Amino acid sequence: MTALAVPSIPVHRFALACGATLLVSPRPGAPVCAVQAHIRGGHSLDPTGFEGLSYLTGRFVEQGTRAFSDEELALALEPAGGNLSGSTTGVSGQIAGADWKTLLECFVETLTAPTYPKAKVELQKKRVLDRLLLERDDPRTQGAWSFRRLVYGKHWLGQRDYGTLDSVARIERKHLVKHHRDQWCGSRTVIAFCGDVDPKAVRRFLDKKLAGWREGKNLAPREQVFPKLEARRDVFPAQRQQVHVYLGHLGIVRTDPDYAALTVMDHVLGTGPGFTSRITRILRDELGLAYTVHAAIHSSAGVLPGTFTAYIGTSPENLGTAVQGFGREMRRIQKELVSPDELELAKSYLTGSFALGYERASRRVGALITAFRNGLPEDYLARLVAEFGEVDADDVRRVAQKHLHPDAACLVAAGPVTKRALAALRY
């Protein structure tokens, strides 16, 4: 029997003086190193009426710091192929391995000392507003967010992290400065680094550079309340040639014991390579309903529940056929055992290609962050590959019965559709 390709990401864990956790994965000979900081909270901390504040606070960190202008940051990083970018939950970047100290120097500056120059903030904010303006009339985007609101209700996961036209317009530089000062601190931060380095050297470097960063207080656990599973529907009317359809419901957390079996199920049902999955093969190839169609539950799982989402873009006259196709395939995989060929194809793809996805340093630091945030063991990737190989047809049917809820699925159609027409559909 051929040995499985197993990704190995060794890790050294340190507690920094500023209160942050540091995870370093040495990789001898690696040409590129990568770093990522994750800060707990994200857009769950956005005040009412200021949705998008966490997003703008993170996105604008590289516009200038106490030590560097944005041009100086670029000049320091670009000769070695480096880059840095901020997000709602932190900062990430990469560079040629020999220049890891340059990367971390700039990384620490953007993480701890952004100055949010007013002119730069206004320019970048305008770009966000332009994006929101374009999205206001875009059926696919609006349909996706309508679907999340149906699934998550008033929970912050159902809200756009980058805000709304009204909320972003009222955010000013002073709000970004205050939010960064109040919410970005050592005790809420985990930093992951991967490259051809001595882990202790990275710890010493960051301990020195972050010595003055405020430790702050960690976030207390909060009760998470989601709407009950039940069928809910919504329409985003738009005169277009295509209708975008989203069907699904609340999903799973990453630590769900059925995660591996659900990943295999997804590859049979709606995310397999090429056009091998059932939904793609039947709705796209056999019925000719669309080019883009997929369904999955495992890919959005995190510390909080993700979603099971089935999506298709199709012509308005095929809306009913597409929705019925989703429901039919969800129920079929719950009732019938998947064929040996389908099961073997899905498992072979997962066990054969899984390690290749972790060749990039940026993917490895992301895996370290995922493991830390979800409390997964250091060898969780190796265990996952082994679990893929153990999934059988009974497992696939069992997890489909447990985790798929076609009778309680939310349904959104965005395009030339009426609420009355959507209400009449059965799946």
What's the pLDDT score for residue 7? 76
Residues 173 and 253 grouped into a single domain? no
Rounded-to-integer distance, Cα 95 and Cα 101, Å: 10
Same domain, 194 and 247: no
- At CB < 8 A and 24+ separation, what contacts does 325-329 make? 325/279, 325/282, 325/283, 325/287, 325/289, 326/245, 326/247, 326/279, 326/283, 326/295, 326/406, 326/427, 327/247, 327/406, 327/409, 327/426, 327/427, 328/427, 329/269, 329/270, 329/278, 329/279, 329/282, 329/295
**In this structure, are 201 and 242 located in the same domain?**
no
The string of DSSP codes covering 145-185 is: HHHHHHHHTTSGGGS-TT--HHHHHT--HHHHHHHHHHH--
Total number of domains in the chain? 2
Tens-binned pLDDT, residue by residue, of the chain (427 aa):
345 567 789 999 999 999 999 999 999 999 999 999 999 999 999 999 999 999 999 999 999 999 999 999 999 999 999 999 999 999 999 999 899 999 999 999 999 999 999 999 999 999 999 999 999 999 999 999 999 999 999 999 999 999 999 999 999 999 999 999 999 999 999 999 999 999 999 999 999 999 999 999 999 988 999 999 999 999 999 999 899 999 999 999 999 999 999 999 999 999 977 667 999 999 988 888 887 899 999 999 999 999 999 999 999 999 999 999 999 999 999 999 999 999 999 999 998 888 788 889 999 999 999 999 999 999 999 999 999 999 999 999 999 999 999 999 999 999 999 999 999 998 8
Whether residue 238 sits in one domain with residue 327: yes
What is the residue range of 127's domain?
12-209
pLDDT at 1: 37
Q: How far apart are CA 132 and CA 129, in angstroms?
A: 5
Task: Return the bridge partners of 37, or none.
Answer: 91, 191
In a domain, 215, yes or no: no
Which of 10, 32, 24 has its CA nearest to residue 191? 24
pLDDT at residue number 45: 96
70: in domain: yes
| The predicted structure's pLDDT at residue 356 | 81
Same domain for 286 and 194: no
Tokens of 49: 């009426």
7 within some domain = no
Please identify, among 176, 209, 242, the residue that sits at the C-terminal boundary of a domain.
Answer: 209
pLDDT digits over 363-383, tens only?
999 999 999 999 999 999 999
Residue 214 lies in a domain: no
Six token digits for residue 362 = 């940026």
pLDDT tens for residues 307-319? 999 999 999 999 9
* Tokens standing for residue 153: 């209700």
Residue 148 sits in a domain of what CATH number? Answer: 3.30.830.10
Q: Which tokens hold the place of 348?
A: 């072979």
In a domain, residue 303? The reply is yes
Residue 219 in any domain: the answer is no
Domain co-membership, 95 together with 244:
no
How much is the pLDDT for 5?
66
Question: Do 195 and 64 have their domain in common?
Answer: yes
89 within some domain: yes
Confirm whether 280 is domain-assigned: yes
Q: Which residues make Cβ contacts (< 8 Å) with residue 109, sequence separation at least 6?
A: 65, 66, 67, 68, 73
348 and 404: one domain? yes
- Distance (Å, rounded) from C-alpha 401 to C-alpha 416? 33
The Cα 65–Cα 16 span in angstroms is 22
Question: Are 200 and 285 in a shared domain?
Answer: no
User: What's residue 178's pLDDT?
Assistant: 97
For the chain, the C-alpha Rg in angstroms (whole number) is 23
> Looking at the structure, do residues 324 and 401 belong to the same domain, yes or no?
yes
Q: Which residue has the tokens 């470097």?
A: 205
Q: Are residues 237 and 188 in the same domain?
A: no
Asked whether residue 173 falls in the same domain as residue 268, the answer is no
